[in-house]
Amino acid sequence: MCHLHGSGLSFSGGAFGRRTLLAGAGGVLATAALPSVAAAVPRVLSRTWAIVGATVFDGIRSVPDATVLIRGDRVVLVGRRGDVPLSRDIDVVDGRGRFVIPGLVETHHHLGGDTVDVRAANLSRMLGFGYTTVFDPFGSLADFATLKAYAAAPDTPVPRYLGTGPLLGSPGGWGDFGLTATKVVTGPEHAFEVVDQLAEAGVDAIKAANDDWFWGRLTLGTMPVDTQAAIVAAARRHGLRVFFHAPAKRLAAQALEAGAAGLLHGVLDEPVDREFLRLLGRTGASYVSTTIIFEVFGDLVGVVGRQQAYDRQGLVPAATYDALRGPGAIAEVESGVDPAVMRSFLPMLRANVEPVSRSGANIAFGSDGGSYGEAVGVASQFELVLNGLAGLSPRQVIGGATLGAARMLGRHDLGCLTPGKLADLVILSADPLADLTNLHFVDQVVRGGRLFSATDLRAARS
């Protein structure tokens, strides 16, 4: 969750309404296990180059024996091999036996860590897992500026970084944590002041919270409706979207009525009925279930084990998995969340995904990474697998993790492989449309037209 990242505080000792929660195993482990990949360099290619012979899912359709033509940082053309003429002076990457999809977009990741250096290293790590864009809806403005600059450096093997800076909360409610990564909004007038400050700092969106913590061990106050509406109105003056943390259906509906552009957690407590789905459709808001973090709260040891089983290449050290499910991590989680209570909500969370998708609402995917029980990179991929298990097809999941995420974030230059889009893509050695667990087998990653070998990225981390 947004409060689980590098605060140095704990559930224990009470006073949750005034202070934040936990540092989290993700932050502790990141320092030792997840070093920077700054040494990896892109393959030297001609300005115009092509991938030839791969099966390509462009975000909408599949094209067998395809050619992807790239010039600079943009896609020029995708089509059947015989339909895309190539000049003799361009470099060609052999795509035979490979599968190409648009670059994955993580729409809810906090990068873990107690320092910005660790968070930058974790951001870098995401590229080797096929994530070419990461949206971080929680952090200090200082960290936001540092990570933004780090990700923008030419040829740096790092995903695009988008963020909100501090989460906006309300007095005595979610976000009243006393951190530089949170701001308490005292009312509508104050909302305009705070949002104006964030906009001046260059944030990509706004994050607000409306959660009474019905799923935890304490009861919190909720954000007044007029404050929610004021945050949205203030953000719209700057062309910014507002995304809400609101996992209760009643509070999620409030956020949607206030003008939320998206929900950064799935609905836990009730079925998403026809009225809710109509509201979601009418507002055009996006839905991000963050299934894995709630699964972790229900069964930390089991979910860490499932991630390790999924990690068939051993990309995360066994010692990291052991620490993620260690006694300290268990004690921290259980001091704030009763696993049995959380398990009672999980069937609803899973069941709500498919009707949201069937309604035509925009779905995107995020892991709430950097939190307890989540191995950076692996957890983001496993979030996609969990949504497949909840009833979505591989095509729906990959579409949501690419084009759906781009729509959510208002980045119409991302998310699909069509002419003029940014050349962000993933080359896999196994077919993810046949089995979502094949997303694990990343062979190469293209970020802004620059080709990185996954092997090189991993070697640079070792």
Q: What integer pLDDT is reported at residue 418 of this predicted model?
A: 97
What pLDDT is recorded for position 154? 79
pLDDT of residue 42: 85
Q: DSSP for 300-338?
A: HHHHHHHHHHH-TT--S-HHHHHHHTSHHHHHHHHHH--
* Pairwise CA distance, residues 354 & 428, whole Å: 27
Predicted local confidence at residue 391, as pLDDT: 97
Q: Which pLDDT score, from 0 to 100, does residue 432 have? A: 98
Q: What is the DSSP letter of 221?
A: B
Please give the structure tokens belonging to residue 366: 């995020």
Using one digit for the tens of pLDDT, what is the confidence trace for 398-446? 999 999 999 999 999 999 999 999 999 999 999 999 999 999 999 999 9
What pLDDT sits at residue 234?
98
- Count of residues in the chain: 462
Global pTM exceeds 0.85:
yes
The CATH H-level (homologous superfamily) assignment of domain 104-415 is Metal-dependent hydrolases (3.20.20.140)
* Nearest to 235, CA basis, from 272, 208, 274: 208
- pLDDT single digits (tens) 107-142: 999 999 889 999 999 999 999 999 999 999 999 999
Q: Are strands 48-57 and 91-94 parallel, antiparallel or unpaired?
A: parallel
pLDDT of residue 153: 86
Residue 69 phi/psi, 5-degree rounding, is: -100, 130
Contacts 24+ apart (CB under 8 A), 151-158: 151/123, 155/41, 155/42, 155/450, 156/38, 156/124, 157/37, 157/38, 157/40, 157/41, 157/42, 157/124, 157/127, 157/447, 157/452, 157/457, 157/460, 158/37, 158/120, 158/123, 158/124, 158/127, 158/447
The pLDDT assigned to 38 comes to 46
What pLDDT does residue 28 have? 33
Q: What is the pLDDT of residue 366?
A: 98
Distance between alpha carbon 169 and the CA centroid of its chain, in Å? 21
First-last CA distance in the chain: 29
Whole-number Cα distances in Å, 78 to 403, 421, 449:
16, 11, 14
Q: Which residues does 49 contact at the CB level (< 8 Å), separation at least 6?
A: 69, 70, 90, 91, 92, 93, 451
Quick one: pLDDT at residue 422? Answer: 98
The residue among 453, 280, 297, 447 whose CA lies nearest residue 371 is: 297
| pLDDT of the chain, 462 residues: tens digit per residue | 544 333 332 333 332 222 223 222 333 333 333 334 445 788 888 899 999 999 999 999 999 999 999 999 999 999 999 999 999 999 999 999 999 999 999 999 999 988 999 999 999 999 999 999 999 999 999 999 999 999 998 778 999 999 999 999 999 999 998 989 999 999 999 999 999 999 999 999 999 999 999 999 999 999 999 999 999 999 999 999 999 999 999 999 999 999 999 999 999 999 999 999 999 999 999 999 999 999 999 999 999 999 999 999 999 999 999 999 999 999 999 999 999 999 999 999 999 999 999 999 999 999 999 989 999 999 999 999 999 999 999 999 999 999 999 999 999 999 999 999 999 999 999 999 999 999 999 999 999 999 999 988 877 665
